[in-house]
Amino acid sequence: MKNELLHGTLEVMILKTLSWGRLHGYGIGRWIMDQGGDALRIEEGSLYPALYRLERKGLIDAEWGISEKNRKAKYYRLTPKGRRVLTAHVVTWTDFATAVGRVLSSADAPSPA
Amino acid sequence: MSPKWRRYLRFWRPDVRADVDDELAFHMQERVDDLVATGLDRNVAQQEAMRLFGDMPRVKDECIEEALKLETEMRRLETLDVLKQDAIYALRLMRAHPTFTSAIMLTLALGIGATTAVFSIVNAVLLRPLPYRDADRVVLIAETFRGGRGSASGGHVTDWTNQSRTVERTSIWQLRTINLTEGEPERLRAARVTPSFFEVLYVRPALGRYFLPEENADSRVTVLSHPLWVARFNADSAIIGRQVRLGGEPHTVVGVAPANFTMTEFDERLWTPFAITTEQASNYGAHMFTVFGKLKPGANIEQAQADLATITEGIRQRAPDEMNERGVQVVSYGSLLVDGWDTQLWVLLGAVTFVLLIGCVNVISLLLARATARRKEIAIRGALGGARARLVRQLLTESLLLATAGGLAGIIVAKVGIRFFVGMGPAGVPRLDEAGLNWQVLGFAIAATLLCGVVFGLVPAFRATRVDLQSELRDGGRGSRGVIRDRVRGTLIVAEMAVALVLLVSAGLLLRSAYLLQRVEPGFDPRNVTMMRVALPALRYDSAEAVQAGFARILEQVRGVPGVEVAAAGTRVPMWGASIDIGVRVDGRPFNPKDLLIGHVRLVTDQYFETIRIPITKGRSLKASDLAAGAPSVIVVNETFARRTFGDENPIGKRISGWTRDTLPEWREIVGVSGDVRAFGRENESPPEIYMPMTQAPSNAWASYNRSMTFIAKSRPGISVTAPMRAALRNVDPELPAYDVQTMDNVLSQSTATRRFNTLLLTCLGLTGLLLAAIGIYGVIAFFVSQRTQEIGVRMALGASAGSVVGLVVRHAAALAGIGILVGGVAAYWATSALASMLFSIDARDPLAFVVGALALLGVALGAAWIPARRAARVPPIRALTDL
């Protein structure tokens, strides 16, 4: 259950990560796990297929660069299209999460039919 | 991990595998570093990193798959983008040169349109399968007489049916005309058929059913044709079971055949069932039935021919007298229907394709000229690194766009063309009205368009891009390779001239045929003569006397019509109506069935010759007294009959007998010889003919003629007597329909209508070819002149006269045209044999047509060259200097 939930939202989280600027795959994974903690712990490998899918959809761009430790690394960057998609997703996701949260924390019993 | 050198492959194209490897390797290095930083041993850290990563091979595969997809998509987008660029560039060029563009479009639209229109006719008439079930097994089985196909006797049909091993089923079809008396009386072409006719030629009926095996003439049932059902019964589906009066007797309508069931020229309007009598089934002498058969599955025409020939040979053994010069012939129904039309249509398609070819050559020529003009542009693009393939693609895109525009316009032209053919085409072409723009035809148009686009895109494209960049840029685009390119254009012109000559010679042959045919005297004078056919129903005119009296009364009324100067009647008039052949023996010569003379006999009244002005060359004409009861038996024969029968002897006073090969001859005296008449159309030799007073015919003769007569009336000029003649008929019998009422002028012109149509079309195509060839040679010579402006200027500066400059240019044109005419002459000599069957009284290699065609082409070519030549002669010598 946790994995399925994550799979759909992983892409959105990648987009969110990249909204701060360009980053390589390892950095993206680390940032998500730093933010989400153990609740969002995933297999690190599953990040990469998601990145390639996003690139194919035209939401992110990739280019080769040199990392801080002087290693060749592939850097990702949000495209304008990716930024629009992210904004839309954030709104939808927040609304959804709020609604689910309201339902789950409600103290009112259902009225009899 | 992949070897390092693979990375360099990225230099040429991205290597997705190496990329994925590199990216994941980077991940592992970073992770291990981070773990080591937390105090782990490097080996342990490596294992921990692998664990955290998860399923490495699967991730790799997924990534590679995604990346490959992305790459394919990118490449496709890139191609589309290039195409779009090419197309935009081509469109801009087209708009920048409107004259050039419209010239090409117009040429292609007309060429492709006309070719498509003719193809749609060929497709509708010749290529599509017939609608009948197992149509490829349907055959006509005919008795032959002196090699010609004719009707078969009941005995033949019976033997063929019972003994054949190759024919599954036979049926009999017999044409007749019948009066339909429902409201306005109408004379209809009808057919008497055995019920199996609709099994041999089966298409699901539009309504009701066909005949049951047990139905015959006594059943009084009928199947209507679709056109009759629509025209006379308003396509009322309640017609089934209703009764209609045919020949005065009520018949029940049991079915309606579907539209286009009948495809023969006879176009019968209804069918009634019949069966041959036992007497007929053993008669081998009365040839009166048309036989349609269906071959057994697997049997072919040749096998059926051999099979039926054996059976027919058996009949010859038993009844040698009946089989003199007779045989059998099996023909496929499909080929029978299009007999004669197929040659004409294929010739037409060939001719129109030739015109398209000439048009294409002109277009190639134009594109070549433009490619030459664009040499500098192309050289620059090449110098800037434009790949040759890319340049070829650019030029190809342009030509395909041009062709597509031309093809689209061509489809509109085709639509108009098809309407023209269907509307104006000669009568009797089966299924002509079904021609239209269907998928096959559109496919043809599209294929023609694409072929044109690719061919005349590739030729100039390869020529133009094979440029020597250095010399081209150095020469400022003038180039020294013009000679070679000129040779290509020269070859094109030679080909164009050759094809045009084939067209011209073909048109010339047909024109000359038409001219010769028009000069043939028909042997009668059709002016101011009107004809009207009348048939008397057997029910009320049951004896020969009643029939003769009826016709006599009608003739009397017709003669009384105001404006009619002279009138008569005959069972047949020239070029119209069926004829009956009879065997004739001569008094004083021993009777031998092998020497039997054949004559076309017609029953006539007095003044027949005078009305239609057939001259009497010897003896006298038939008089009213010859028709009186008890008058001595006399006849008039035509010159052909007299010559064939009596040679140089005077035929007047000789006695002949005919009609039946009786042993008791009824001698009739020849009292006159009439001039020959082209009885079966101008192109056919006059047959031997016999004119007999209608009262002296054997009483059973009237049935053979369907109790019908054709009345002819010569009126004063400028008066139409068609309405009064119909009224005269109504005065005698209001239930009798008049049919085929028309002027003899019309009959005469109808007899050559098909030929005129063919001649007109091929002449138009020939002239179009000539015009296109003229434009083509004009273009090439104009180009030749423009390439040599400088040279001409120098020559003139050195004292060459204007005349010698014109001579130089015209000689060049004459050389091209001359070679073209030689090649074309050879091609035409070979090609015109296809026309042989369409020609009249001249050979397909008629020298006059060849010489006139060649001279016309040469003249037009030199004329077209003259214009640029004169322009060349006016080049001021100073141009030679300024252009340097």
DSSP code string of A61-92: EEEEEE-TTS-EEEEEEE-HHHHHHHHHHHHH
Position B2 scores a pLDDT of: 45
Of B213-227, B384-398, B757-771, B869-883, the range with the highest mean pLDDT is: B213-227
pLDDT value at A101 more than 50? yes
Confidence band for B595, pLDDT divided at 50, 70 and 90: low
Q: What is the average pLDDT across B67-80?
A: 86
Is B587's Cβ below 8 Å from some Cβ in A? no
| B 68-87 residues inside an 8 A Cβ radius of A | 69-70, 73
Of B165-169, B286-290, B744-748, the range with the highest mean pLDDT is: B165-169
Residue contact B26–A26, C-beta within 8 A: yes
Is B23's Cβ below 8 Å from some Cβ in A? yes
User: How far is the alpha carbon of A55 from chain B, nearest alpha carbon, in Å?
Assistant: 8
Residues B460 and B392 sit within 8 Å (Cβ to Cβ): no
pLDDT higher for B126 or B475?
B126
Size of interface A-B (CB pairs under 8 A): 67
Interface test with A, best of B26, B31, B68 (most A CBs within 10 A): B26
> Which residue bears the tokens 């494209």?
B461
Structure letter (DSSP) for residue B576: B
Is B388's Cβ below 8 Å from some Cβ in A? no
Residues B677 and B589 sit within 8 Å (Cβ to Cβ): no
Interface test with A, best of B65, B70, B75 (most A CBs within 10 A): B70
Confidence band for A69, pLDDT divided at 50, 70 and 90: confident
Position B663 scores a pLDDT of: 61
pTM: 0.72
Position A8 scores a pLDDT of: 64
Which residues, in sequence order, are CB contacts of B11 under 8 Å at separation 6+?
A: none
- Distance (Å) of CA B681 to CA A63, A110, B576, B640: 88, 103, 9, 16
Position B319 scores a pLDDT of: 82
Per CB-CB distance under 8 Å, the chain A contacts of B54 are 43-46
Is B53's Cβ below 8 Å from some Cβ in A? yes
Nearest to B711 by CA among B563, B523, B564: B564
Count of alpha carbons within 13 Å of B269, Cβ hemisphere only? 16
> Which residue bears the tokens 């009608």?
B554
Confidence band for B242, pLDDT divided at 50, 70 and 90: very high
Mean pLDDT of chain A: 83
Rounded CA-CA distance B108/B116 in Å is: 11
Q: What is the average pLDDT across B844-857?
A: 90
Position A33 scores a pLDDT of: 83
Out of B23, B34, B70, closest to residue A25 by CB: B23
Mean pLDDT of chain B: 86
Residue contact B62–A52, C-beta within 8 A: yes
Confidence band for B220, pLDDT divided at 50, 70 and 90: very high
Residue contact A74–B73, C-beta within 8 A: no
Q: What is the average pLDDT across B148-165?
A: 91
Position B324 scores a pLDDT of: 76
When computed from its CA atoms, the radius of gyration of chain A, rounded to whole angstroms, is 17
Rounded CA-CA distance B195/B208 in Å is: 15
ipTM over 0.95: no
- Antiparallel, parallel or unpaired: β B249-256 and B287-295: unpaired
Please provide residue B268's backbone torsions phi and psi, each rounded to the nearest 5 degrees. Answer: -65, 150
Confidence band for B482, pLDDT divided at 50, 70 and 90: very low
Q: What is the average pLDDT across A101-113?
A: 78
Interface test with B, best of A34, A52, A69 (most B CBs within 10 A): A52
Contacts 24+ apart (CB under 8 A), B841-848: B841/B513, B841/B516, B841/B517, B842/B509, B842/B512, B842/B513, B842/B516, B844/B509, B846/B508, B846/B509, B846/B512, B848/B508, B848/B512
Position B701 scores a pLDDT of: 84
Interface test with A, best of B10, B63, B69, B74 (most A CBs within 10 A): B63
Rounded CA-CA distance B315/B636 in Å is: 36
Per CB-CB distance under 8 Å, the chain B contacts of A49 are 59, 62-63, 66
User: What percentage of chain B has pLDDT greater than the value 70?
Assistant: 93
Tokens of B752: 């050559």
Residue B543: what residue type? Answer: S
Chain A CA closest to residue B61: A49
Residue contact A55–B66, C-beta within 8 A: yes
Domains and CATH numbers, chain A: 2-88 (1.10.10.10)
Q: What is the average pLDDT across B818-836?
A: 90
pLDDT value at B13 more than 80? no
Position B690 scores a pLDDT of: 93
Per CB-CB distance under 8 Å, the chain B contacts of A25 are 23, 26-27
Please provide residue B680's backbone torsions phi and psi, each rounded to the nearest 5 degrees. Answer: -115, 35
pLDDT higher for B219 or B878?
B219
Of B9-23, B27-41, B603-617, the range with the highest mean pLDDT is: B603-617
Strands (E) across B760-832 are located at none
3-state secondary structure of B656: strand
User: How far is the alpha carbon of B25 from chain A, nearest alpha carbon, in Å?
Assistant: 9
Residue contact B23–A46, C-beta within 8 A: no
Confidence band for B10, pLDDT divided at 50, 70 and 90: very low
What DSSP element (H or E) covers B423? helix B388-424
pLDDT in tens, A3-41: 445 556 788 889 988 998 899 999 998 888 888 776 666
pLDDT in tens, B784-820: 787 777 778 788 888 888 888 888 888 888 888 999 9
Rounded CA-CA distance A77/A54 in Å is: 11
Chain B CA closest to residue A74: B23
Position B581 scores a pLDDT of: 79
pLDDT value at B467 more than 60? no
Per CB-CB distance under 8 Å, the chain A contacts of B22 are 72, 74
pLDDT value at B488 more than 70? yes
> Which residue bears the tokens 């007569």?
B709
Q: Of the ranges B149-158, B210-219, B422-431, which one carries the lowest mean pLDDT score?
A: B422-431
Q: What is the maximum span of chain B, computed from C-alpha positions, in angstroms?
A: 146
pLDDT value at B132 more than 50? yes
Confidence band for B472, pLDDT divided at 50, 70 and 90: low
Tokens of B54: 């998860």
